[in-house]
């Protein structure tokens, strides 16, 4: 042991890297290597401890997080297209809401536009159908009126159910009226007035004999009722367009379940 110590000292003296001019070069390298090795050891120990303490669920979540971040940062083409169309719909609906309040550009015509919307409301149509049904004395008239009443009731229930599911609000903060609460027409999608106007116009065109000018006026009335809801700020453009589609589908449904004259007479006798 004593003989080996002088030999190691002699080797250190003869080593060129141990000279004074090379000490400044050797020390940073040794410090970096030590810091790197210590950092690796600490990270390795921490990783081993974390791997031992973590559960399989946490490992799966940590593996899924980068993928979820990538999905959020890179949305699909369908998502981009849908968001773009939605933004265009909201922007155009706000521009067309010229009667949304008294301070709007067409605020003075708000009462007239509201009156036009009332002509497509469900309560006046149901009340008028019941009055006509009581006064009707022909079997054909009672059959048409009973099926019209069925169509109006189906329209209210279907639109109310769809609005409860969608729960979409209008472009402006416009409170529904009393008649809207009676028919549960409190949300924007789909537009109940538009669906009712489309269904009624199609129903009358198919089951009433009308002159060509009256048929044109009936179609124009349905369009004006639908887009009047956009003008007062209650619905978006897509709400009105979807209302027209649902109104046509409701008409087709009533045609499929059309009640015969005998069934109508039986229901009238019970009533």
The residues assigned a catalytic role are 193, 235
Structure tokens of 152? 């109006």
- Our separate counts of H helices and E strands in the chain read 12, 0
Cβ-contact 174, 232 below 8 angstroms: yes
What is the SS3 string spanning 180-240? HHHCCCCCCCCCHHHHHHHHHHHHHHHHCCCCHHHHHHHHHHHHHHHHHHHHCCCCCHHHH
Distance between CA atoms of residues 102 and 122, nearest Å: 26
Length of the chain: 271
Nearest to 164 by CA among 139, 187, 144: 187
Q: Which conformational region is residue 233 in: left (phi greater than 0), alpha (psi within -120 to 50 degrees), or beta?
A: left
Identify whether the C-beta of residue 239 lies closer than 8 Å to the C-beta of residue 191: yes
Cα gap 119→111, rounded to integer Å: 13
């Amino acid at each position: 042991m004593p003989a080996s110590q002088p030999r190691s000292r002699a080797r250190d003296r003869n080593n060129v890297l141990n000279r004074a001019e090379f000490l400044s070069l050797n020390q940073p390298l040794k410090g970096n290597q030590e810091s790197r090795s210590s950092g690796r050891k600490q990270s390795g120990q921490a990783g081993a401890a974390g791997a031992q303490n973590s559960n399989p669920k946490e490992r799966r979540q940590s593996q899924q997080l980068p993928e979820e971040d990538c999905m959020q940062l890179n949305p699909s083409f369908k998502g981009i297209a849908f968001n773009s169309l939605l933004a265009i719909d909201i922007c155009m609906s706000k521009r067309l809401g010229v009667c949304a309040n008294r301070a709007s550009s067409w605020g003075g015509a708000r009462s007239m536009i509201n009156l036009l919307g009332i002509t497509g409301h469900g309560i006046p149509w149901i009340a008028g159908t019941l009055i006509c049904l009581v006064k009707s004395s022909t079997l054909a008239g009672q059959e048409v009126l009973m099926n019209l009443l069925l169509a109006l009731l189906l329209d209210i229930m279907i639109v109310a159910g769809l609005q409860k599911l969608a729960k979409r609000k209008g472009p402006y903060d416009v409170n529904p009226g009393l008649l809207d609460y009676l028919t549960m027409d409190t949300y924007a999608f789909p537009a109940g007035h538009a669906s009712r106007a489309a269904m009624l116009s199609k129903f009358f065109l198919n089951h009433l004999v009308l002159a060509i000018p009256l048929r044109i006026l009936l179609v124009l009335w349905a369009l004006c009722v639908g887009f009047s809801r956009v003008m007062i700020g209650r619905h978006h453009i897509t709400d009105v367009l979807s209302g027209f589609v649902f109104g046509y589908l409701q008409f087709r449904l009533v045609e499929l379940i059309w009640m015969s004259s005998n069934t109508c007479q039986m229901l009238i006798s019970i009533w």
